[in-house]
Chain A
């Protein structure tokens, strides 16, 4: 009987201890941002491996998602004789939802898993302890630049995704299926609002950038220093990031709409 309560208590304590350590580490990493001002080379290196290397997959996926939206949207809208609204449909679904969300999911798979594996391996090969021995704070040297680079990259990647997607939709809708060019752009411009839609998308992508990068970095930093531990943490990064992004997307949409 009491064993059961003890177990419940232990898991609750563990949960809050983990939450507390996560929040503390996050605050430490945020506080370490100001030290990065003097070391821009660290951020540039991370921007390269997180942002530049994710660019290709994001642009190609954005293009295909835009083209699919163009095809599907056209086939539905033509039933109502509203194919002129194709531009609005493509642009709104990309800017508000698909841009930030799909970019975040791809980013978690492409960059997040790499981050976790990298930091996890550093831990497994005792490079992090080595840094500490040399009086270099690993939070400042390893975690903070990666977190900052992720937060910077994410909105930029999401914007690229949406912009390329709009052109993909244009290619299919206007060039292939024969929607009027003027209608495609003018209806889009008339209906898509800068503050309402585009800024909302940017806010979402910044939030997703913080969350996915943080999950990746934290999982790497706290993984078991074995090859199995690294592989498990990498899996967890992708799973947690995907869940967090989809859940937060609902929450943010409900709050901002």
Chain B
């Protein structure tokens, strides 16, 4: 056994390296910055169809992530999907007439919510509801529409 001073130092190094590795995993591998979120505000939007969108999906403006989807529920009366999302408070001057759409990152990528800023002087704030929405594109629906339009043409 080495003397106790060297022993204590090496154990100290061991524990420090272990905790540093955990920190690397937390900060560098997963992104904890969304975890220690500062102030945020929540907005909602109603969509006809949100297929593919999940809680924790990204919300972005011009391709830059500004927030996350927090919950997706169905409105029991209108049968629309109500998507709640939190936006980082740094982006607090998004015009109230902005439109939101559900897009796909790449051909097979994940769905995300894109906000396209409008031009109104009023801005979105806690609890705002966005009116202008564009639903998620469902490939099967597109294909069936295409096929039907083809068959219609033939009949003419």
Interface residues on B, range: 20 to 34
Residues of B whose CB lies within 8 Å of any CB of A are: 1, 4, 7-8, 10-11, 13-15, 17-19, 21-22, 24-26, 28-32, 35, 56, 58
15 A-B pairs within 8 Å (CB atoms) are namely A45-B7, A47-B14, A51-B18, A55-B17, A91-B29, A166-B24, A188-B30, A189-B29, A192-B30, A193-B30, A194-B26, A194-B35, A198-B22, A198-B26, A198-B30
A9, chain B: closest CB distance, angstroms: 48
Complex Cα distance, B12 from A152, in Å, reads 13
Name B31's contact: one of A45, A162, A166, A189 (CB within 8 Å).
A189
A24, chain B: closest CB distance, angstroms: 31
Residues on A with C-beta less than 8 A from B18 are: 51, 153, 155-157, 159-160
Classify the interface of chain A: helix, strand, loop or mixed: helix
Chain A, Cβ-Cβ closest to B18: A156
Interface residues on A, range: 20 to 34
Residues on B with C-beta less than 8 A from A198 are: 22, 25-26, 29-30
Residues on B with C-beta less than 8 A from A44 are: 4, 7-8, 11
CB–CB B11/A202 < 8 A: no
CB–CB A156/B15 < 8 A: yes
Residues on B with C-beta less than 8 A from A135 are: none
Q: In the complex, given contacts A156-B14, A189-B30, what are 6 additional A-B residue pairs having Cβ atoms less than 8 angstroms apart?
A: A47-B14, A48-B14, A52-B14, A164-B21, A193-B30, A198-B26
Residues on B with C-beta less than 8 A from A185 are: 28
CB–CB A48/B30 < 8 A: no
Verify if A133 is at the interface (C-beta below 8 Å from B): no
Chain A, Cβ-Cβ closest to B15: A156
The 10 closest A-B pairs by CB, nearest first: A156-B18, A163-B21, A189-B31, A159-B21, A192-B30, A159-B22, A160-B21, A194-B30, A52-B14, A163-B24
Residues on B with C-beta less than 8 A from A91 are: 29
Verify if A140 is at the interface (C-beta below 8 Å from B): no
Chain B, Cβ-Cβ closest to A59: B17
With known contacts A41-B4, A48-B10, A156–B26 Cβ distance under 8 A = no
With known contacts A44-B8, A189-B31, A159–B25 Cβ distance under 8 A = yes
